[in-house]
Chain A
Amino acid sequence: MLKFENVSKRYQETGEVLRDVSFHLRHGELAFLTGHSGAGKSTLLKLIGVMERCNKGQIFLDGENLSHAKEKQIPYLRRKMGFIYQDYKLLQDRTVFDNVALPLVIAGFGHQEIGRKVRAVLDKVGLSGKEKKFPLALSGGEQQRVGIARAVVNKPPIIIADEPTGNLDPELSSEIMSLFESFQQVGVTVFIASHDISLIKKMNHRVLKLDHGQLVSS
Chain B
Amino acid sequence: MNKYNKRRQQTREVKPPKYLKPAKSDSRQNTVAGGSFMDKLNAYRDLHAHALFSSLGRLVASPFTSIMTVAVLAIAISLASGFYLVLVNFQQLTSHLETSTQISLFLKEEVSELHAKKLADGIRNKPEVQQVTLINKEQGLAEFKTYSGFGSAISALKTNPLPIVIQVLPKNSLTDKRQLEALLHEFQQNVDVDLAQMDMQWLERLQSIIAVGECAATILNLMLGLAVLFITANTIRLELHSRREEVIIAKLVGATHGFIQRPFLYAGLWIGFISGVVAWFIVTAMMLILRSPVETLSSLYGGNFHLVFFSFTETLKLIGISSLLGVVGSWAVLMYQLQHTKPE
Contact = CB atoms under 8 A, between A and B. Distances in A.
* Interface pairs A-B: 3 shortest CB-CB: A187-B4, A79-B254, A78-B254
Contacts of B47: 105, 108
11 contacts: A46-B344, A49-B343, A107-B34, A108-B32, A109-B39, A110-B40, A110-B42, A110-B43, A124-B19, A155-B22, A188-B20
Interface stretch (B104-112, B159-167, B242-250, B295-303): B242-250
B35 A155 contact: no
B250 A102 contact: yes
B255 A106 contact: yes
Given A78-B253, A105-B47, 5 more contacts: A51-B252, A75-B256, A102-B253, A108-B32, A186-B3
Interface residues of B, number: 43
A89 interface: yes
Contacts of A206: none
Contact of A75 (B22, B39, B255): B255
Interface string A99-128: 000111111111101000000110110000
Contacts of A83: 252-253
Contacts of A75: 251, 254-256, 259
B146 interface: no
Interface of B: 2-5, 7-8, 17-23, 26, 29-35, 39-40, 42-44, 46-47, 245-246, 248-256, 259, 342-344
B344 A51 contact: yes
Contacts of A106: 250, 253-256, 259
B40 A108 contact: yes
Contacts, number: 112
Contacts of A102: 249-250, 253
A187 B34 contact: no
Given A62-B26, A75-B256, A108-B43, A121 B34 contact: no
Interface of A: 27-28, 46, 49, 51, 62, 72, 75-80, 83, 89-91, 102-111, 113, 120-121, 123-124, 150, 154-155, 157, 185-188
A187 B253 contact: no
Contacts of A121: 19
Contacts of B17: 186
A104 B23 CA distance: 12
A97 to B, nearest CB: 14
A38 to B, nearest CB: 16
Contacts of A187: 2-5, 7-8, 20
B340 to A, nearest CB: 13
Contacts of A62: 26
Contacts of A123: 18
Contacts of A78: 251-254
A76 B7 contact: no
Contacts of A46: 344
